[in-house]
Amino acid sequence: MPKFFGNRGDAQQGNGPWHHRAHQHMRHSLKARLVAVFLLLALALTGAFMFGMQKAVSIGWRDAARPLVSDYVDHLAADIGTPPSIDRARGLVQKLPITVRIAGPQVNWESHPGRDLEAPHRHDRWATESGLLARATADGHRIEFGLNVQPWRDRPRMWGWITLAMLLVLTLLAYKYVRRLLRPLDDISAGAQRFGRGEFAQAIPVRRNDELGDLANDVNTMARSIHQMLDAKRALLLAISHELRSPLTRARLNAELLPETGEAAARREALLRDLQEMADLVTELLESERLGQGHAALQREPTDLGTLALEVASGRGVLVEVDDPLPQLQLDRVRMRLLLRNLIDNALRHGGEGERPVLRVARGERGVVLSIRDFGPGVDEAVLPQLAEPFYRPDAARERATGGVGLGLYLCKLIAQAHGATFTVRNANPGLEVAVSFPA
């Protein structure tokens, strides 16, 4: 069974932990970073405002309130009396949000025993240092007052949840606004991907008259220029190819009229071989341009790829291995014959004098895999990604000697892509292996 070598990057790229995915999303998403900046800025502004207001309000109020608080505490201590009356203290606690603690030789009483109260006499240094909230009676008792915050304990918590909810709502609104603000970037990204695939019919929509709108206009202008250059190149290449066919046909007819024996026989064979090479080049140029314009020209029909490979490879000196049975594939027979011929010619051309190339058609994980391997010297790993590029030849002198012009593998890749197949090239050590994986 032949092995299919695809992109290992997808296999090595796992999902990873959630914090790693969040970090990657933050690094690659401008919208996420802007929302995070807005959220941090809102928290920082809120904290700075609350701290500043607290400091601003607290400065000076203690000195201003000291006489009033002292007078009020005197009245409360007088109401409790001497010796302190527990009933009067209890009545004050019921009427006012205060706590009372009495300690002395006769009375020891606490209004809220065992409860964690936010009492100023416990936590307020200003009150404890000045004795503002404590009074001593004539009979040796000490009365301490505090603030009972139990009735309001849940109110700050409620406002905390309200504040958090408002902050989340503001963050959501900010995210939606940023998403709308950066929507042209999504349009530009989608348009750039279309232009990269050669789809120039749909321009990038220009939604606003700001910097992003100007960028979309610039990218559209660049795409139009590239499209015009590609059309001009394609038209020139097609015109040249068509114009070459007529003189090549006449030259071949004239060459075939030369004597087949004697001194002219060798020249006749060489001339016919060169003319055939030029005719094949013109055919490959025309076919590559047709496939480069899109895949609508394919004439698909149910095809047994194994049977087709046996027909094309018959008598070519190639070992053929075919799995049985194979699923029927929707293929363009004419283009597939061209692909098989080019792959076989390439393997025979560079396979050396050792073993014969091996052509395999086998079941793959997701369909059918067509592969051909020669046993030649192979190529450097650095040039493997460029082997299927048009007119690329790793060794120009060697290619000229063997007749290659650098279009065979490129045309095979175009035919594979037109059928939705994956085209890969690798060093088989020894030799080179080309694999085409067709989805079933």
Question: Is a pLDDT exceeding 60 seen at residue 331?
Answer: yes
The predicted model gives 330-356 an average pLDDT of 86
Residue 27, pLDDT score: 66
**What integer pLDDT is reported at residue 195 of this predicted model?**
84
Mean pLDDT of 56-79: 77
pLDDT tier, 12 (very low <50, low <70, confident <90, very high otherwise): very low
The pLDDT of residue 410 is above 80:
yes
How does residue 394 score in pLDDT terms, banded at 50, 70 and 90? Answer: low
Averaged pLDDT for residues 46-50: 75
Binned at pLDDT 50, 70 and 90, residue 208 comes out as: confident
> pLDDT per residue over 345-388, tens digit each?
888 888 777 788 999 999 888 889 999 999 888 888 888 877 87
Q: State mean pLDDT over 258-271.
A: 79
Compute the average pLDDT of residues 407-418.
85
User: What value does the mean pLDDT take over residues 333-345?
Assistant: 89
Q: In the prediction, which pLDDT does 357 show? A: 92
Enumerate residues 6+ apart whose C-beta is below 8 A from 86: 102, 107, 109
What is the pLDDT at residue 398?
Answer: 40
CB count in 10 Å sphere of residue 92: 16
| Range with lowest mean pLDDT among 262-266, 413-417, 435-439 | 262-266
Cβ 144 vs Cβ 134: under 8 Å: yes
| CA dihedral sign, ordered 378, 380, 381, 383 | negative
- β-strand pairing of 319-322 with 358-363: parallel
Residue 263 has pLDDT above 90, yes or no: no
Least confident span in 30-34, 209-213, 253-257, 266-270: 30-34
Higher pLDDT, 127 or 320: 320
Is the pLDDT higher at 23 or at 40? Answer: 40
Tens of pLDDT, residue by residue over 136-174, are 888 888 998 887 766 555 565 677 678 778 877 877 787
Check residue 305 and give its pLDDT.
92
- pLDDT score at 72: 87
Query: Whole-number mean pLDDT of the chain?
Result: 77
State how far the Cα of 340 lies from the Cα of 419, in Å rounded to an integer: 14
214-254 per-position pLDDT tens digit:
888 899 999 888 888 877 877 777 777 777 777 877 887 77
The answer, yes or no, to whether residue 212 has pLDDT greater than 50, is yes
Say which amino acid occupies 110: E
Select from 281, 186, 275, 270 the least CA-distant residue to 241: 281
Percent of the chain at pLDDT > 70 equals: 77
d(CA 286, CA 181): 46
Most confident of the ranges 176-185, 226-235, 260-269, 361-370: 361-370
Task: Tell me the C-alpha to C-alpha distance, in Å, between residue 375 and each of 46, 227, 320, 397.
Answer: 72, 42, 15, 20
pLDDT > 90 fraction of the chain, expressed in percent and rounded: 11
According to the model, what pLDDT value does residue 9 have? 40
Q: How confident is the model at residue 423 (pLDDT cuts 50, 70, 90)?
A: very high
- Greater confidence (153 vs 75) lies with 75
| Type of residue at 238 | L
Exposed, middle or buried: residue 89 (CB in 10 Å: 0-12, 13-18, 19+)?
buried
How many angstroms separate the CA atoms of 201 and 233, rounded?
18
Mean pLDDT, rounded, for 307-328? 90
Q: How far apart are CA 44 and CA 440, in angstroms?
A: 58
**How many angstroms from the chain centroid is the CA of residue 116?**
54
